[in-house]
Homo-oligomer: A and B are copies of this chain.
Amino acid sequence: MDNLELIKQISITSPGKIVLLVIDGLGGLPNPKTGKTELETASTPNLDKLAASSICGLIDPVSPGITPGSTPGHLALFGYDPVKYNIGRGVVAVLGIDFDLKPDDIAARGNFCTVDSSGLVTDRRARRIPTEKCTELCQLLNEIKIEGVKLSVRPVREHRFAVVFRGEGLSPEISDSDPQQTGVAPNTVKALKPAARRTADIANEFIAQAKATLAKHQPANMVILRGFSQRQKLPSMGDVYKLKPAAIAAYPMYRGLAKLVGMQLLKTGPAITDEFDALKQNYADYDFFFLHIKGTDSAGEDGDFNRKVSIIEEVDKALPALTGLKPDVIVVTGDHSTPALLKSHSWHAVPVLLYSKWCRADRVGGFSETACTMGGLGRFPGTQVMPLAMANALKLAKFGA
């Protein structure tokens, strides 16, 4: 029996409210000059105070050593086994833009990228072109015609877009064109099963036409695609946890993910304070809130240690708006680590604090990777965060007699 089935059997509705604050890519690595991680460098009096009355620990979102993509990292935090529910990035990207994805559609995540005159990728993100530029280029790509397929190219944000292939007999079993590194050419999309050959041809045709269309649009003169996938039905959080869950996330991908597990998407502005405002505005109407902070991960991926520190400090400043609502359970953690030193997601365990009246606080007096090592929750799988939050909100009945 998987985790969700067990929880579904014993979950009950109660008045308690849970807020899950996900600081994306929260975990870091120490700056060699100071020996302190981003979180340890940041001045975080509010998080430290909260940690002091919380039970703390470290989570492995997937399992030790595994570097999670954003989807598995979040699914784990929502309690879903991320290896069992392996959702394609294309589907997630598309769900985040309010596109009506049909069960047979093939969705892919795209990046506008830069290639040099030999066709080698020099920047996988085309200098993060503004969203307006992305929108304009997507309109151009939307005009591409391929026989037997209806194409939809939609902007996501900055260099990111989504493309949906709609037609008869398409298969998601094709490989990425995104080489995941610079200095090499994009990969040719390949069929992973014989039945997917036509779909691979269609994807390659789209990429070839996109290249021609974008030739004069430096730095966004090429596209790379990944995560070809079809929609998969997941159990809803409402059904499993008997919660009325809502999501506050400025980034489309995370809204898509939240929708996939049945959360209500709340309106929010892009700033951190906007998100905390949205929490306050909607606090009476839901009993579970997923509040997502994206900037920490972006700063980590850019290798910008100081910016990541600043964003953590910004979250800390906004925190009283959350704690002031007095949720029964507050969880603060990340979906994975994104150390600025590695400029990428990483496998490192992620600090977590869980506050509730019933949490049995440990002796951890501040919120950091090192402090959480001594926490009462120990080091544990990310999928166990929700059962712990539910228990602390008195929303889980006894298992067995």
Beyond A373-B375, A373-B376, is A66–B396 a contact (Cβ under 8 Å)?
Answer: yes
Instruction: Decide if A396 touches B89 in the complex (CB within 8 Å).
Output: no
Which residue of B is nearest A378, CB measured?
B379
Which of A135-143, A182-190, A281-289, A357-365 faces chain B? A357-365
B363 contacts A376, C-beta separation under 8 Å: no
Closest to A253 in B: B401
Decide if A250 is an interface residue (CB 8 Å cutoff): no
Asked if A87 is an interface residue, CB under 8 A from chain B, the answer is yes
Q: Which of A39-73 contact B (CB under 8 A)?
A: 57-58, 62-72
Is A64 a contact of B380 with CB atoms below 8 Å?
Answer: yes
Q: Which of B109, B349, B399 is in CB contact (< 8 Å) with A72?
A: B399
The CA-CA distance from A15 to B359 in the complex, in Å, is 42
A342 within 8 A of B: yes
Query: A369: shortest Cβ distance to chain B, in Å?
Result: 7
Known: A373-B375, A397-B180, A398-B345. A387 touches B63 (CB 8 A): yes
Given A373-B376, A401-B70, verify A360-B29 contact (CB < 8 Å): yes
A45 and B226 alpha carbons, distance in the complex (Å): 49
Please tell me if A347 contacts chain B, counting CB pairs below 8 Å: yes
How far is A397 from B69 in the complex, measured between Cα atoms in Å?
A: 10
The answer to whether A58 and B370 touch across the interface, beta carbons within 8 angstroms, is no
Instruction: Identify which of B64, B349, B370, B396 contacts A65 (C-beta below 8 A).
Output: B396
Query: What chain B residues lie within 8 Å of A66 (beta carbons)?
Result: 6, 10, 387, 391, 396, 399
Task: Please name 20 further chain A to chain B contacts, defined as beta carbons within 8 Å, in addition to the given A86-B400, A373-B376, sorted by A numbering.
Answer: A6-B83, A29-B360, A63-B384, A63-B387, A64-B377, A64-B380, A64-B387, A65-B386, A67-B391, A69-B398, A89-B401, A341-B358, A342-B358, A345-B398, A346-B391, A362-B370, A363-B370, A363-B373, A373-B378, A379-B379
Residues of chain A at the chain B interface (Cβ within 8 Å): 1, 3, 6, 10, 29-30, 37, 57-58, 62-72, 82-83, 86-89, 92, 109, 180, 226-227, 341-342, 344-349, 358, 360-363, 369-370, 373-380, 384, 386-392, 396-401
